[in-house]
Amino acid sequence: MVDVVISGIGQSAVGRKVDRSGIAMTVDAVIAALADAGLDRKDIDGLSTYPGKLTGNLAHFSPVGTHELIEALKLRLDWYNGGGEGGAQQAGLLNAVAAIKAGYARHVIVFRTLKEGSGSLYWQQAAGPSAQRQRVGDRFEYLMPFDALTVINYVAMSMQRHFHLYGTTRRQLGAISVNGRTNAALNPAAIFRDPITIDDYLASRMISTPMCILDCDAPTDSSIAFILSNAEAARDLRSTPITIEAMAGALHSAASWDQTDMPHMGAHDAARQLWSRTALKPTDVDVAQLYDGFSFLTLTWLEALGFCGIGEGGAFVEGGHRIARDGELPLNTHGGQLSAGRTHGFGFVREAVIQLRREAGERQVPGDPQVAIASAGGGPQAGCMLLTRR
């Protein structure tokens, strides 16, 4: 069986607004990842991204696809892949793992670039005044006519149902936001670094009940790139290889936001599949990087991955002691997307690698972390990966 490792990581400047084009930021991230691995671009034979290049109102969500990068770096590829459907934000990684295991490629660049800090999204366009009445079709047709315009509304409804079924409270959930900010203070690249308290959280502006502004991540301009390699091919590289022990992107529940099973969602399907692909157990995990596009999604992942029981996420995170950097399950040690900025799932994988390499500096978790988990997605989409240092 072919083992796949993460052999290089790279990140562009990250900010609310970065004065560089999407492709320029992507090239920055890829050059950094190549240097980290000790590879030349001529060694690269594969390329993968998600969701591929988007145009029109969604251009800021994904301004760069495979074609732009192939041209910009004169890559000569045996395999490449992009597209907007798959195991959530980790789909590009999942596909790269499959390609390497199949022997289609040996060293694959996987990237994700956003210009969301600079730009707007479809729903903002739809809600704005325009000369012509907006007509919508396809996947949001049964949501947007009810002014359910944003994922914030959909996740808020899942939160509300979780609160109802299990007695989860805002005070409990807020510990995830506070923990992220505490960790971000130790991350020089984080967007928000001023500490917040649970009282700040409880007093913050409500967006869509019960979700407040501090439950929402920060749109950014950013690019992150990884090099995934066949472990044999990566043997003599410069960096410490981090093994992808298992990956999963299962979806057994509904594929649309309007029909997904609230509050449990696709995370449970992917998580179940992840543990079926490894001998490791939740208790073996030393550091967890769980998607927090919204704080509630992290709670979902904690339950789905078995770090606590279904419905027990609120009690698990309450007070923040268990999830602190020196707690039993250090969580989102770079600040998460809530505080470090929305890198759309990729920041979690990068931080997992940094922690396993013990290169996290001031925010390095204590002990000798050997196993990390990273997840991405919410609602009907989910992907997760288990990483080990061997």
Binding status of residue 56 toward another protein by CB under 8 A: no
Query: Do 25 and 113 form a contact (C-beta atoms < 8 A)?
Result: yes
d(CA 287, CA 356): 9
**Of the candidates 75, 48, 49, which has an alpha carbon nearest to the alpha carbon of residue 62?**
49
- Dihedral sign computed on CA atoms, order 44, 369, 357, 82: positive
The residue among 216 and 387 lying less far from another protein, judged by its C-beta, is 216
Query: Do 348 and 187 form a contact (C-beta atoms < 8 A)?
Result: no
Binding status of residue 218 toward another protein by CB under 8 A: no
The residue among 93 and 151 lying less far from another protein, judged by its C-beta, is 151
Residues 358-377 within binding reach of another protein (CB under 8 A): none
* Residues linked to residue 49 through DSSP beta bridges, in sequence order: 111
- Dihedral sign computed on CA atoms, order 117, 121, 123, 127: positive
Stretch in the footprint of another protein (CB under 8 A) among 57-65, 88-96, 195-203, 253-261:
253-261
The residue among 56 and 137 lying less far from another protein, judged by its C-beta, is 137
Residue 380 CB, nearest approach to another protein (Å): 13
The residue among 130 and 362 lying less far from another protein, judged by its C-beta, is 130
Binds another protein (CB under 8 A): choice among 231, 262, 310, 315: 262
Write the interaction track for another protein spanning residues 157-176; mark x where CB under 8 A is met and - where it is not.
Answer: xx-xx--x------------
Binds another protein (CB under 8 A): choice among 35, 207, 218, 310: 207
Tokens representing 188 are 């020089």
Binding status of residue 147 toward another protein by CB under 8 A: yes
Binding status of residue 280 toward another protein by CB under 8 A: no
Residue 137 CB, nearest approach to another protein (Å): 4
Stretch in the footprint of another protein (CB under 8 A) among 25-33, 68-76, 207-215, 279-287:
207-215
**Of the candidates 243, 250, 271, 169, which has an alpha carbon nearest to the alpha carbon of residue 210?**
169
Binding status of residue 295 toward another protein by CB under 8 A: no
d(CA 327, CA 304): 20
d(CA 281, CA 385): 13
**Of the candidates 49, 108, 47, 119, which has an alpha carbon nearest to the alpha carbon of residue 82?**
49
Write the interaction track for another protein spanning residues 100-139; mark x where CB under 8 A is met and - where it is not.
Answer: -----------------------xx-xxxxxx-xxxxx--
Binding status of residue 148 toward another protein by CB under 8 A: yes
What long-range pairs does 354-363 form, CB within 8 A, spacing at least 24?
A: 354/9, 355/287, 356/240, 356/242, 356/287, 356/387, 356/388, 356/389, 357/239, 357/240, 357/242, 357/389, 360/333, 360/334, 361/186, 362/186, 363/183, 363/186, 363/187, 363/325, 363/333, 363/334
The residue among 134 and 197 lying less far from another protein, judged by its C-beta, is 134
Residues in contact with another protein, counted by CB under 8 A, come to a total of: 41
Residue 258 CB, nearest approach to another protein (Å): 5
Binds another protein (CB under 8 A): choice among 208, 222, 339, 381: 208
The residue among 211 and 270 lying less far from another protein, judged by its C-beta, is 211
Q: Distance between alpha carbon 274 and the CA centroid of its chain, in Å?
A: 16
| Helix, coil or strand: residue 21 | coil
Binding status of residue 142 toward another protein by CB under 8 A: yes
- Give me the residues that bind another protein (CB under 8 A), please: 123-124, 126-131, 133-137, 141-150, 153, 156-158, 160-161, 164, 206-211, 256, 258-259, 262-263
